[in-house]
Copies of this chain bind each other. A is one copy, B any other.
Amino acid sequence: MAPSLHDDVAHLSFLLGEWHGSGEGRYPTIEPFGYNEQVEFRHVGKPFVSYVQRTKHAETGLPLHAESGYLRPVGVDAVEFVVVQPSGIVEVHAGTVDAGSGSIVLEATDVLTTPTAKEVSAVRRSLSVDGDALSYTVDMGAVGQPLQHHLSATLHRQ
């Protein structure tokens, strides 16, 4: 039996479900690339929302990126987000939620990397849901480059 949604995450319910779609990435230091993506936002009845993401290269179909994390509500209009990547990057974000328009804007307050990971200095993520369509962008400052557009994608709820 599915647990009831915790009251503290009721205003994040627009995120819940499994989402599939595609996106594109670019950065001054790499070739632009397309990807297919699967995202899940889930809850277990506790006051957080879990996030799991995987992408595959649009042309080769090979696994490309993955990340997982948790959204922690702070009242009804703010949120904390912690997320970890196999590339050795962990991000701690503070952000705002506008449940009316289904949008979240997140800014990394801290980014940590393991000794063998690439340097990442700043990350900004924004996400909006309109019905069963979710679109997001990720801006990143990394490997000596200033914060700038890196990823954008549009996904659909399954």
Contact = CB atoms under 8 A, between A and B. Distances in A.
A17 interface: no
Interface in A55-76: 62-63, 66, 68-70, 72, 74
Nearest to A113: B92
A50 interface: yes
A44 interface: yes
A45 interface: yes
Q: Is the interface of A mostly helix, strand, loop or mixed?
A: strand
B82 A114 contact: yes
A46 B86 contact: yes
Interface residues of A, number: 34
Interface in A80-128: 80, 82-86, 88-90, 92, 94, 110, 112-117
Contacts of A86: 46, 48, 50, 70, 72
A52 interface: yes
Interface of A: 3, 44-46, 48, 50, 52, 54, 62-63, 66, 68-70, 72, 74, 80, 82-86, 88-90, 92, 94, 110, 112-117
